[in-house]
Amino acid sequence: MRVLDIAIKDLRLMLSDKKALAIMIMMPIILTSILSFALGGTFTSEDSIGKTKIAVVKKYNIATEIEDFRYSLSNGIVSENISKSDLEKISKGVEELSIEKIFFKDFLDNKDIKEFLEYEIVREDEALKLLNSKKISAIVILPENFIYDMYTNFLTPFRNKVEIKVITHPDMNFKGRIVNGIMESFTDMTSTLIVGKNVLIETALEEDVIDKVFNNMNDVIDDITVNLSNNSPEIVYESLNGRNPISSFSYYSAAMTSMFILFSAGYGGKSLLEEKDNITYQRMIIAGVSRWKILVGKFFTILAFTLIQIFVMVTFSTFVLKANWGNIYIVTIISILAAFAVAGLGTLIAVLTYKVGNYKMTNIFESGIIQVMAFVGGSFIPIDVLPKFIRFLSNLTINGLALNSYFRIMMGYGIGEILKYLALLVLIGIGLMFISIYLFREKERYYYVERVDAENYETA
Amino acid sequence: MTLLEIRNLKKYFKNVKAVDDISFRVNKGEIFGLLGPNGAGKSTTISMISTLIKPTSGEILYKGESIVKKPSIIQKKLGVVPQDIALYPDLTGYNNLKFWGHSYGLRGKLLNKRIDEVSEIIGLKDKLKKKVNEYSGGMKRRLNIGAALLHKPELLIMDEPTVGIDPQSRNHILDTVLKLNKQGMTIIYTSHYMEEVEYVCSRISIMDNGKIIAMGTKDELIDIIKGQKKISLKFDEFSEDVVEKIKGIESVKDAYILDDEIIISTENGETIFKDIITEVSTTNSSITSIDIQKPNLETVFLHLTGKSLRD
């Protein structure tokens, strides 16, 4: 008998088991559809990005802070280091340089940014309400002393720390990250200008031409505004690391596929003991079929069924849910290696279940361990929002490795970027198969005989 | 010609003597019966002959070669019909036969031809497209036999092949056994049904507690209890002490209750009736019928072990 004969027979049995098909084929399709629609807000796609609405909260008082700045020019540490005539020129600069104009008109209303961001200025409590109701994706808080600090930074040789706070909604993780990025680009640009201005002032002091600099304060101010207007942050709408965005449909198609292939391991894990219980295992042994062939047959059955599962999921999600799996050749390679690892796991469970002689182990695996692996592997919640430790653990699970690989291919990475995941899948598959062979090497007693005879015998 | 020889075979499980030093020979072309109650050691003996388990000690020779040392000698020559239905219930009858045919290395046209022939023998030719879980108990048993016939085995072992089926299917199976034997197949048939073994087997070995307690043809075995007769008494009702009273009669060797009857073993079938009626009349029992039976294997087993085959 060939291994293939055993695998074909087992595959026929699996495909005739309606309950198993419902769990392993229908369930992932249904769950993917439900989760993709329900948790779509966590993701984005090319079609669904649209404009990101934000609220801006002004915690400063512009009039008071301008007054404070003017006061510090004449009384504070600034006045001690700058001549009176220069201070007058700076004071004049305050009238010509509007910080609010720089932030709102020159930056947020910049053509490029306006394509992505739409803002309204509200009170903090209103902003929080809007965010909780997901009417906006983030809140940008301009802190107290924002105006004062910005004037200090732009017009004096000193530099105060300005911290713009961004609050995002956890369900709109992707858009939140965009807002964060835009705000960071604002602070980066202003920092560049401030550093440039400080270098200019320091050089002018060294060269004793500071008067010239302050005489040309108008030009400095113009440079600042022109720079901010022209150098808007470069926003290219790509996902992490500049790759393709992933829709919830794509993500959950891969996530559910990676999770539900584990059920093949559980199902296949029962088959060896079932053969023994049905006496078909003993019948094969009597016919001279090697027990190793039977074991390898189980391995290939699980491998083949897992591939069928993946094929159905990829086809369904591509054509019905419009999921984008990326390069289909690489997806095929990932699928074969993931199925290989699942087959190794299923074979190990089969051997353990066979040795223990009951189905407790497979039941625990199906009802508990798969759920834990699914969570750790990122099948329920995207892995990048989970703690670092769990992200590490995900690389030790078959579903985590498969999902990470699919995920990267969806984003447009090449096979080189996922080689480590693929290598781990192969290692896991080989390792588990070796353990299975080691545990299966001892011959066992057949309870076919014990059940019939031993119970009724006199004790020796 | 001796096809199979068992020499001083023992199988001990942890604390159980399942088979305890048995020896016998099976000749080519005969139907050899292993008769004994559940737990007698029949299935363990068969499991060792089938190379499923190794004996604790002893030797099993197939055509003079040890199958304990080299199981492959017998594996492709042997067909085993297990006591349990060893089939895949979710596959069709055809796919089951195909798979078991593959297990013996049959393929292609030869396999299809054998499936055809075997399904004819077992009377399931027009039922092969059905899934096994849609079969009746008798049909399953027949397919179970069919799966062991595909490779035309020289030696067929049938372990309680009629357990739990209707009389019609049982008769079909017994006739099949005789038909296969006529075609030259050697068969080892185990059962705890005395009538079946009497009907099909040319030589019988009676087993109990892992030992062979008697062996021979049916007539040879019955000769062991030559002169003994079995009388069955039926009652309207009988009191508990009636068996003890009957046992007290001098010529009664044994008496026991079997279902609603009392079975008596005696060497004096003609003159004992008067004594029985006298003893029964002293109890609150009333006899409705008396039947004298010829000795059979049940009587032999009772004589040898003091218990019924159905115990």
Collect contacts of A69-73 with beta carbons under 8 A, ≥24 apart.
Answer: A69/A94, A69/A147, A69/A148, A69/A151, A69/A152, A70/A94, A72/A148, A72/A152, A73/A156
**Which residues have C-beta within 8 Å of that of residue B280, sequence separation ≥ 6?**
B233, B238, B242, B245, B246, B286, B287
For residue B163, which of B199, B192, B203 has the smallest C-alpha distance?
B192
* Cβ pair B18:A457 closer than 8 A: yes
> In the prediction, which pLDDT does A170 show?
66
Cα–Cα distance for residue pair A54/A139, rounded to 1 Å:
6
Number of neighbours of residue A30 by Cβ within 10 angstroms: 11
Query: Rounded mean pLDDT of B290-306?
Result: 78
Higher pLDDT, A227 or B286: B286
Compute, in degrees rounded to 10, the torsion defined by CA atoms B242, B246, B249, B254.
-140
Query: Rounded mean pLDDT of B121-134?
Result: 91
Q: Hey, of A6, A283, A284, A301, which one would you mutate to test binding to chain B, going by the most B CBs within 10 A of its CB? A: A283
Asked if the interface predicted TM-score (ipTM) of this complex is over 0.85, the answer is no
Tell me which chain A residues have a C-beta less than 8 angstroms from the C-beta of B82: 279, 282-283, 448
> In the prediction, which pLDDT does A225 show?
60
Tell me the nearest-neighbour CA distance from B85 into chain A, angstroms: 7
Least trusted range by pLDDT, from A202-206, B57-61, B81-85, B157-161: A202-206
What are the pLDDT digits (tens) for B20-43? 999 999 999 999 999 888 788 888
Cα–Cα distance for residue pair B28/B1, rounded to 1 Å:
6
Higher pLDDT, B84 or A134: B84
Please determine, for residue A395, whether its predicted confidence score (pLDDT) is greater than 50: yes
Whether residue A136 contacts residue A178, with contact meaning beta carbons closer than 8 Å, is answered with no
> In the prediction, which pLDDT does A208 show?
66
**Which residues have C-beta within 8 Å of that of residue B25, sequence separation ≥ 6?**
B2, B4, B5, B6
Residue with tokens 């035309």: B152
Distance linking the first and last C-alpha atoms of chain B? 36
Higher pLDDT, B129 or B303: B129
> In the prediction, which pLDDT does B212 show?
92
Query: Does residue B289 sit at the A interface (CB-CB below 8 Å)?
Result: no
Please determine, for residue B5, whether its predicted confidence score (pLDDT) is greater than 90: yes
Number of neighbours of residue A116 by Cβ within 10 angstroms: 16
Tell me the nearest-neighbour CA distance from A238 into chain B, angstroms: 51
What are the pLDDT digits (tens) for B233-276? 888 877 778 888 888 888 887 788 877 788 887 876 567 788 88
Whether residue B201 contacts residue B24, with contact meaning beta carbons closer than 8 Å, is answered with no
For residue A397, which of A315, A336, A342 has the smallest C-alpha distance?
A342
Length of chain A: 460
Minimum CA–CA partner of B49 in chain A: A286
Q: What is the full DSSP assignment across A73-101?
A: HHHSHHHHHS-HHHHHHHHHHHHH--HHI
> In the prediction, which pLDDT does A106 show?
83
* Cβ pair B52:A288 closer than 8 A: no
Tell me which chain A residues have a C-beta less than 8 angstroms from the C-beta of B143: none
Which residues in A have their CB inside 8 Å of a CB on B? 1-2, 5, 9, 12-13, 16-17, 278-280, 282-289, 445-446, 448-450, 452-460
> In the prediction, which pLDDT does A429 show?
95
Six-digit token pair at B134? 């849609």
Six-digit token pair at B280? 């029964």
Whether residue B33 contacts residue B191, with contact meaning beta carbons closer than 8 Å, is answered with yes
Minimum CA–CA partner of B105 in chain A: A1
Exposed e or buried b for every residue in A277-297, given b needs 16+ CB within 10 A?
Answer: ebbbbbbbbbbbbeeebbbbb
Query: Rounded mean pLDDT of A171-181?
Result: 74
What are the pLDDT digits (tens) for B148-183? 999 999 999 999 888 888 888 888 889 999 999 999
> In the prediction, which pLDDT does A33 show?
83
Please determine, for residue A99, whether its predicted confidence score (pLDDT) is greater than 60: yes
Q: Hey, of B34, B103, B111, which one would you mutate to test binding to chain A, going by the most A CBs within 10 A of its CB? A: B103
Domains of chain B and any CATH numbers: 2-222 (3.40.50.300), 228-294 (3.30.70.100)
> In the prediction, which pLDDT does A191 show?
78
Q: What mean pLDDT, rounded, does chain A reach?
A: 80
